[in-house]
């Protein structure tokens, strides 16, 4: 398995595309979040449209799902035929229907495939592709879900936006790799995580391999300095950028 970052930026980042990544697994892949800038990055990769096994939407803010109509259009243009399932929080189905209708009207009528939305109940296991998953709520300005995925060879956790709550910490325990929002370095921003929150998460979950995303653009250098400092040396932390790839394999633990 391998994670390929399409972007790691926040909503209005002038340099980095919206946070999104692709999990490559076997001959297929899963897309996690699809904000405004994501379809362009996704399209540039030239993926076979039939190999998209599913889409995860962490929450219904524009920089996490407003790219869906354009992505669906691209899949239609490139000849997809497989049914596509989009998974995410309560309210996803109506939000996607309204967005597609606003963007392209009768897009579904001319499509060669069907897409459906599956609204996830936190704590109840579900499947994306062949990944076994479970979700939990974060503290954010609206309903935002963290997700844990387990498959042959490894496990991962993606927080989406916000501060992972107790249930989110529980599902993340001892995952091999965690992708976490770190919007601020030391400052506080309601509904968003900072480096102190990252530190607390790592200690509570026993996760030592982390990637920080959705970083506020004017704090990227400051957060990088903290990541490279002595206090973080007991962890393996990276600040990925668009195009970075990360093999995901089962960690060996003592």
pLDDT at 254: 32
pLDDT-based confidence at residue 250 (cuts at 50, 70, 90):
low
pLDDT at 234: 61
pLDDT at 231: 55
pLDDT at 226: 80
Inform me whether the pLDDT recorded for 152 exceeds 90: no
User: Closest Cα to residue 23, out of 225, 177, 219?
Assistant: 177
Contact at 8 Å (CB) between 63 and 144?
A: no
Question: What's the burial of 196, exposed, middle or buried (CB within 10 Å: 0-12/13-18/19+)?
Answer: middle
User: Closest Cα to residue 238, out of 251, 252, 253, 220?
Assistant: 220
Q: Which CATH number fits domain 2-247: 3.30.420.10, 1.20.140.10, 3.60.15.10, 3.40.50.2300?
A: 3.60.15.10
pLDDT at 187: 80
Domain ranges, ordered by start, for the chain: 2-247
Q: What sign has the CA pseudo-torsion 116, 143, 160, 141?
A: positive
CB atoms within 10 A of CB 221: 11
**Average pLDDT of 65-82?**
97
Contact at 8 Å (CB) between 20 and 34?
A: yes
pLDDT tens digits along 170-222: 999 999 999 999 999 888 888 999 999 999 999 999 998 999 999 999 999 88
Inform me whether the pLDDT recorded for 158 exceeds 60: yes
**Average pLDDT of 62-73?**
98
pLDDT at 212: 96
pLDDT at 7: 97
pLDDT-based confidence at residue 100 (cuts at 50, 70, 90):
very high
* DSSP bridge pairs for 156: 149, 177
Inform me whether the pLDDT recorded for 236 exceeds 60: yes
CB atoms within 10 A of CB 114: 11
């Amino acid at each position: 398995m391998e994670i390929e970052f399409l972007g790691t930026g926040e909503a209005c980042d002038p340099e980095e595309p919206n946070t999104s990544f692709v999990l490559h697994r076997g001959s297929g892949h899963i897309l996690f979040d699809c904000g405004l800038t994501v379809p362009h990055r996704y399209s540039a990769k030239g993926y076979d449209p039939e190999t998209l096994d599913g889409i995860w939407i962490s929450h219904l803010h524009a920089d996490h799902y407003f790219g869906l109509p354009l992505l669906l259009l691209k899949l239609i243009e490139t000849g997809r035929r497989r049914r596509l399932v989009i998974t995410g929080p309560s309210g996803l189905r109506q939000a996607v229907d309204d967005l597609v209708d606003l963007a392209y009207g009768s897009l579904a009528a001319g499509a060669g495939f069907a897409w459906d939305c599956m609204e996830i109940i936190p704590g109840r296991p579900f499947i994306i592709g062949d990944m076994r998953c479970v979700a939990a709520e974060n503290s954010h300005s609206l309903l935002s879900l963290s997700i844990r995925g387990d498959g042959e060879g490894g496990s991962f956790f993606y927080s989406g936006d916000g501060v992972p709550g107790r249930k989110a910490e529980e599902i993340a325990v001892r995952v091999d790799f965690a992708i976490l929002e770190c919007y601020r370095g030391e400052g506080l921003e309601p509904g968003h995580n900072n480096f102190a929150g990252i530190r607390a998460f790592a200690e509570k979950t026993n996760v030592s391999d982390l990637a920080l995303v959705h970083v506020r653009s004017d704090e990227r250098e400051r957060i990088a300095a903290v990541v490279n400092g002595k206090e973080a040396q007991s962890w393996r932390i990276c600040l990925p950028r668009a195009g970075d790839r990360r093999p995901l394999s089962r960690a060996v633990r003592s």
